[in-house]
Structure 1
Amino acid sequence: MQKAFAIAFSLLVLVQSLKIGVEDISNLNVLLNHAEFHQNMYGDSFFQFLAEHYGDAVDNHPSDHKDHENLPFKHHHQTCVHSSIAFTFETSSFDLDQQLFIDIPFNFFYEESSSLFEKLSVFQPPKMA
């Protein structure tokens, strides 16, 4: 079951990264009909049709057909924001200087004000448990 979910989510990410939507799939019929129109009118093969509408020859192809706005995979989202992130790899070197141990003289001479060997019974642990 986990493999099925992993495969399903992987396919979902793939489809979303290719920007294929339900609208594009429903317009595949328009693509095939327009390709057939180009084959009948101009004698173009399917690959020439793809080159004229999606490839390098887009600028040379006249766009006065009524089916051009309904072709799939030609949508332009004006609300999308594509930001690029540049990763730079810099080498950082840290020089760790080993400093010599400095012996600090002992200057704390605390002595109890009264030295009783026996403490008060309040501060002794309980005798019976």
Structure 2
Amino acid sequence: MTKIFSFSISLIILMQSFGIHANDISQIDELMEHAQFHNEQYGDGILVFIAKHYGELKADHAIDHQEEKEDHEQLPFQHQCHLSSISSFILNSFNEEFKSMELPEFNEHNFYYQEPSSSLHLEGLFQPPRLS
């Protein structure tokens, strides 16, 4: 089950990276019908069909065949996606030497340490065992 799930998520990410939407997949049959129409009507092969609808001949084909405008709008992969990213950085050439800050010297002590002393220690109470 996890393999199917991971495969489907990977497939979705791959399709999104190519710019394929879900409605494009549902319009594949219209693409096939229109390609077949072009083959029968004009004798276009698949490469010429793709060039007329998605490539360099698209503008000329749209002008020459206004009657097919509604069919062309139903074809998949007609959406326009523009992604732009602007990356900039500024090199700051302002260079100022850091002046060291002079701290006043404090001679006062904030605490006093007294060595611990205990009468129990002097009596030998905390000694290691003598018999084992």
Under a length normalisation based on structure 2, what TM-score does the superposition of the two structures give? 0.57
User: For the residues of structure 2 that align with 1:33 and 1:105, how far apart are their CA atoms?
Assistant: 90
- 1:37-56 equivalent positions in 2, closer than 5 A: 37-56=37-56
- 1:29-68 equivalent positions in 2, closer than 5 A: 29-61=29-61, 62-65=65-68, 66-68=70-72
User: For the residues of structure 2 that align with 1:98 and 1:88, how far apart are their CA atoms?
Assistant: 28
Aligned equivalent of 1:111 = none
Q: Describe the superposition over 1:81-126 as per-residue Cα deviations: whole angstroms up to 9, x where unpaired.
A: x663311134456868465674735586xxxxxxxxxxxxxxxxxx
Aligned equivalent of 2:87 = 87
Unaligned runs of 5+ residues in structure 1 are 109-129
Q: Percent identity at matched positions?
A: 38
Distance of aligned partners of 1:103 and 1:19 in 2 relative to their CA distance in 1, 3 Å threshold:
closer
Unaligned runs of 5+ residues in structure 2 are 109-132
Distance of aligned partners of 1:107 and 1:34 in 2 relative to their CA distance in 1, 3 Å threshold:
same
Distance of aligned partners of 1:44 and 1:11 in 2 relative to their CA distance in 1, 3 Å threshold:
same
Structure with the higher helix share, 1 or 2: 2
User: For the residues of structure 1 that align with 2:99 and 2:46, how far apart are their CA atoms?
Assistant: 76
User: For the residues of structure 2 that align with 1:14 and 1:37, how far apart are their CA atoms?
Assistant: 30
Under a length normalisation based on structure 1, what TM-score does the superposition of the two structures give? 0.58
Deviation at 1:13, TM superposition (A): 2.1
Q: CA-atom RMSD, angstroms?
A: 3.7
Aligned equivalent of 2:73 = 69
